Amino acid sequence: MALNLRLANSCNVDNDDNVESEKLPTIVFEENRFPMSLFGHRIAMNSGLINTEQLLRSLSNLEMAVARYFEWVAGIPELRLMDMQEKVTLIVRQMNKVILLMISYWTYRHAHNGIVFGTGICYNPSEVQDNTLETYLSPFASVIHNNIISVFRKVAMTREEYLLLKIISFFDCKWLNF
């Protein structure tokens, strides 16, 4: 079954010719595939255990992280030198790199032994009760601590140096031509 975009204006309520195409499939929840809690914050919907307010709070945390990135990007004056396609490509391609650097710096600044995600969410490996989280986040935390934060400690990274590194890593791409 394919997903089709249906605009609100294109739906004709009086037309009964498409009754068969208007039926929606039944969704059966066989098992809970998502953890209910990530670092104390609810992140996945489980019909019996989560309410709308908790779901909106989780989405709000995600929106804050993405909004911080886009607010930072909006303040870069050099983007005015680029056409729209180059801007969008640069912003999308560099987002993971910059967010990884931000997470690493926040963890370094807070001297945390896990990961500080910057939206009030922290991963502490000694307090993990969910094996799924430990499976995915422990290797991530060890890579950040061994390869990035160790260098931050060695050079005693300041906030100014971090901001400069962030802008350099944002524009560090082989395909970009000014």
Which CATH number covers residue 166? 1.10.565.10
Range of the domain at 128: 37-171
- Per-residue pLDDT tens over the stretch 48-75: 444 455 555 555 655 676 778 888 898 8
Measured between alpha carbons, how far is 84 from 112 in angstroms, rounded to an integer?
39
- State the total domains in the chain: 1
pLDDT per position as a tens digit, 129-165: 777 777 888 888 999 999 999 999 999 999 999 999 9
Residue 87 in domain: yes
Residue 117 lies in a domain: yes
The answer to the question of residue 138 being in a domain is: yes
Phi-psi region of 118 (alpha: psi -120 to 50; beta: other; left: phi over 0): left
Determine the Cα–Cα distance for residues 112 and 131; give it in Å rounded to an integer. Answer: 20
- pTM as predicted: 0.62
Assigned domain for 31 exists? no
Residue 86 placed within a domain: yes
- How far out from the chain centre does Cα 25 lie? 30
